[in-house]
Amino acid sequence: SQQGEEDPQALSIQEGENATMNCSYKTSINNLQWYRQNSGRGLVHLILIRSNEREKHSGRLRVTLDTSKKSSSLLITASRAADTASYFCATDEGGSEKLVFGKGTKLTVNP
Amino acid sequence: GAVVSQHPSRVICKSGTSVKIECRSLDFQATTMFWYRQFPKQSLMLMATSNEGSKATYEQGVEKDKFLINHASLTLSTLTVTSAHPEDSSFYICSAREGLFQETQYFGPGTRLLVL
């Protein structure tokens, strides 16, 4: 089942700008993770935020989590052309070991 | 970081043949491995969860006789697509988790399967 739903589905920005992607989910979670996928490749884990955390930073990435709204956002600051990829959120559905992925946001950063 | 490999990276086969995809954790022991399927421009759909030494747990709608999963060791899981048909063409991705309480899954690079 698709739990995470990202928006926008596609985002095109200029290098140097910030990119914000949102994710909503439906059930309770223990954690939410963001992954990145370059075209035709596997997924790279970016960041994990636990249900008792509200914000987390990793380099140019900033993730927020609002469990009352069942939503999360991923902010990439000072974007680079190399950030061009699809970004997926994934939740541990009901705290299970399984990850449920959203549909993803395709980010294009133009040089 | 933890590395997961998949082999082959891409395969083309004739309809009716079987294809085996390997997933290996290179620098850690994976108690649990997961197999996903991804259609073009879509998200990942979990097919099955496999724990070393036990039978895989398949998601609803996934035919266990069609997609055979074997997790014979802590570093290797295989997915065999039996009697492949064109509709089985897809991108298959595995992931591995180091321990029962590890939250992060490490993904392989994926295998592109094309059935003619």
Contact across the interface for B109 and A42, Cβ inside 8 Å: yes
Q: Is the pLDDT of residue A35 over 70?
A: yes
Q: CA-CA distance, B63 to B71, in Å (whole number)?
A: 17
Chain B residue numbers touching A46 (CB-CB < 8 A): none
pLDDT at position A4: 60
* A93, pLDDT greater than 90: no
Cβ atoms within 10 Å of A45's Cβ, excluding its own:
18
Inter-CA distances, A98 with A3, A39, B83, B97, Å: 12, 24, 28, 11
Between CA B96 and CA B49 the distance in angstroms is 10
CB-based contact A104 B43, cutoff 8 Å: yes
| pLDDT for the residue B98 | 81
Share the mean pLDDT of chain A.
91
Instruction: Find where tokens 């970004």 sit.
Output: A87
What is the mean predicted confidence (pLDDT) over A90-102? 83
pLDDT band at B104 (very low <50, low <70, confident <90, very high): confident
Residue pLDDT, tens place only, A13-31: 999 999 999 999 988 899 9
Chain B residues near residue A93 by CB distance under 8 angstroms: none
Q: Which residue of B has its CA nearest to A45?
A: B106
Percentage of chain A modeled with pLDDT above 70:
95
Q: What pLDDT sits at residue B110?
A: 95
Give yes or no for B51 touching A (CB within 8 A).
Answer: no
Q: Do B44 and A88 touch (CB under 8 A)?
A: yes
